[in-house]
Structure 1
Amino acid sequence: MPMIRPLLSAAGLCLSLSLPVQALDLESMSEGDRALLRNEIRAYILDNPEIIMEAVAVLEQRQSQEQSQADIDLVKVNAEALFNDPASWVGGNPEGDITLVEFMDYRCSYCRRAHDEVTGLLEKDGNIRFIVKEFPILGDESVLASRFAIATLQVAGDDAYKSVHDALMTYSGAMNETGFSRIADTLGLDANKIISEMNGDAVDKVIADNHALGQRLAISGTPSFVMGDQMLRGYLPQDAMQEIANEIRAN
C-alpha cells in the first residue's frame, strides 16, 4: 500500500526526534529491555497517533527540499544546453530577465492546455524569454509532428516555426504529411520543401539532443518546464507560473 513506506519512515523519524541527545545504546541492551522499549514505543504511538502524520509531513518536506536542490543542481550542470542551444526556437522577450524552457509534445493534452497559459504569461509579463524543446514521447504521430515543426524552423525560420507550433497545438486531425501540407499551405509556407527535410540528419540531431537532455534532467512526462534555476514538473496555470517568476525576481 502506498502509505506503508512513508509511515514506516515516519515512525523512525518520530523515534529519532523524541530520543535525547544521549540516545540509548541498543547494542548493549538485553533482549528483554529491547522488548520493553518496543512496547513503550508502540504504546506511545497508539496513544498519540497524530505524531505519525506530523512526522510524515516533516519527512515529505525534507524530501521536497532535497528534490528541489537536486533539480537546481541538474539545471546548473545542463544550463548551456537548456538556455543557449542554437537549434531551439526562442520567443517571448529575447532580452527578458527570466528564461522559461518548455519540454512539450504536440499530442499531449496538458501541453495543449499549457500552451494557452504560457501565451497568456508571455503577453502579460512581457519580460520572459521563452524556449521550446521539442520532446516527442507519445508515439509516432508525436515524432512526426515534432519533425515537421523542427524542419519548418530550419527551412523557413522563427516566424514560420511559431505559426506552425501554434497550429499544431490546436490541430485535431491526423499528424501525417497530408495534415502537415494542409497546415503549411494555410500559412503560406512551402509544404514540399519542409516535408522533404523532416527526416534529415539535422532534424534527427535536434530530437536526439532533446531526448538526451530530458534524460539527464530526469524528465519523464510533458509538459515539463525550467524557469530560472527551477524545475517545474507538470502542468501549471498562468497565475502559478507568474508567482514563481515573481519569486525568482525577488530573490
Structure 2
Amino acid sequence: MLRQTLRALPVTLALAAPAAATDLETLSDAERDAFREEVRAYLLENPEVLMEAIAVLDQRQAEAAAQGDSAMIANHAKALFESEGDWVGGNPDGDITVVEFMDYKCGYCRRAFPEVEELVESDGNIRYILKEFPILGEQSVMASRFALAARAELGDEAYKQAHNALMTMRGDVSEKSLTALAESLGSDWETLNAAMEAPEIDQIIAGNHQLAQAMQISGTPSFVMGDEMLRGYVPLAQMREIVAGQRSE
C-alpha cells in the first residue's frame, strides 16, 4: 500500500503545481530529475504527508470495498435472505436482518456465539438467519448435517437447541457425542443419522458454499448486516454500532 501511495504522490503534487511545468510526459530528463528531487525533498521535510496520503488511500479503498459488498448483497438477496434451507430466528419481522455464515468447529464462531445471541435478544427487532457453512473438516460437516437433520426431523426449535449445544460442545463431534445430543432432543442416533444423508441436506450445504464463493466469503464467522459485510469476528459493541448505523440510513 505504501508503494502505491509513493507512486501516486508525484502525480498528486504535479496536479497541484502549474500544469506547464509539471507535465511529466513532456519534461526533459534533466527537468524530470529535478522534479523528482523536489518531491523527495518535500517528503523528507514533511513526512506526515505520507501518513495523510495513506489514510486517504485506505479510506477510498474501504469505500470501494463496501460498495462492492453492497452490490454483491443486492445481487444475491434472495439466496441470502429467503432460503427455505436456513433457520430464521429473532424477530421474523425485524427491521434489520443479520445473516451469519458459521462453522461449529470455528473458534471465532464460538467466541461470537454468546455475543450474537445477546445482540439479537437485547435488540428485539433483528431477524437472524443461520447459514451452515462447514469448512474446517469432517467434524464440521458432521455437525452441520446433524443440526440440519434435527431441523428436518424435529423442527426449528430442535434445530436451535442442537445449534446451541454444538456451539458450546467440548471435545470432538462424534457418534458418541451426537448420540447423547439426539437423546436430549427426544430422538435417537439411528433416526437422525439416517436423516443426515438426505439429499436435501447436501443441497443446503452445497448451496451455502456456492453462495459464499459468490460473496467472496472464505472464512467463518462472516456476517451480512443489512447491506454491509463483516468478515471475521466482530465484538458486540461494534455490531450494535453497525445495526444503529443501518437504522439511521
Q: TM-score, normalised by structure 2?
A: 0.95
Counterpart of 1:115? 113
Q: For 1:19, which of 7, 14, 19 is the aligned residue?
A: 14
Query: In 1, distance between residues paired with 2:13 and 2:34?
Result: 17
Counterpart of 1:8? 3
Counterpart of 2:86? 88
Equivalences for residues 65-214 of structure 1 within 5 A: 65-214=63-212
Query: In 1, distance between residues paired with 2:8 and 2:35?
Result: 16
Structure 1 residues not aligned, in runs of 5+: 1-5
One-letter code aligned to 1:97:
D
Change (3 A) 1:159 1:136: same
One-letter code aligned to 2:98:
L
The answer to whether the 8 A contact 2:14-2:23 is kept is no
Residue 27 of structure 1 and its aligned partner are, at CA, apart by 2.2
Could you report, residue by residue, the CA deviation over 1:121-149 in whole angstroms, capped at 9, with x for unpaired residues?
11110110100000111111111111111
What is the percent sequence identity of the aligned residues?
50
**How many residue pairs align between the two structures?**
246
Query: In 2, distance between residues paired with 1:35 and 1:243?
Result: 50
Q: For 1:32, which of 27, 30, 33 is the aligned residue?
A: 30
Q: For 1:49, which of 47, 50, 70 is the aligned residue?
A: 47
Could you report, residue by residue, the CA deviation over 1:166-221 in whole angstroms, capped at 9, with x for unpaired residues?
00001012212221111111232233211112122111111100000000110111
Mean alpha-carbon deviation: is it higher for 183-192 or for 207-216?
A: 183-192
The answer to whether the 8 A contact 1:14-1:51 is kept is no
Could you report, residue by residue, the CA deviation over 1:209-239 in whole angstroms, capped at 9, with x for unpaired residues?
0000000110111100001111011111222
Query: In 1, distance between residues paired with 2:73 and 2:8?
Result: 31
Query: In 1, distance between residues paired with 2:245 and 2:27?
Result: 52
One-letter code aligned to 1:15:
P
Q: TM-score, normalised by structure 1?
A: 0.94
One-letter code aligned to 2:116:
V
Could you report, residue by residue, the CA deviation over 1:97-127 in whole angstroms, capped at 9, with x for unpaired residues?
1110000000011101111001111111011
Could you report, residue by residue, the CA deviation over 1:41-74 in whole angstroms, capped at 9, with x for unpaired residues?
1121112111111111111011000000000001
Query: In 2, distance between residues paired with 1:223 and 1:104?
Result: 5
Residue 151 of structure 1 and its aligned partner are, at CA, apart by 1.2
Query: In 2, distance between residues paired with 1:118 and 1:28?
Result: 59
- Specify the SS of the correspondent of 1:199: coil
Query: In 1, distance between residues paired with 2:60 and 2:26?
Result: 31
Residue 241 of structure 1 and its aligned partner are, at CA, apart by 1.2
Query: In 2, distance between residues paired with 1:19 and 1:38?
Result: 10
Structure 2 residues not aligned, in runs of 5+: none
| RMSD across aligned positions (CA) | 1.3
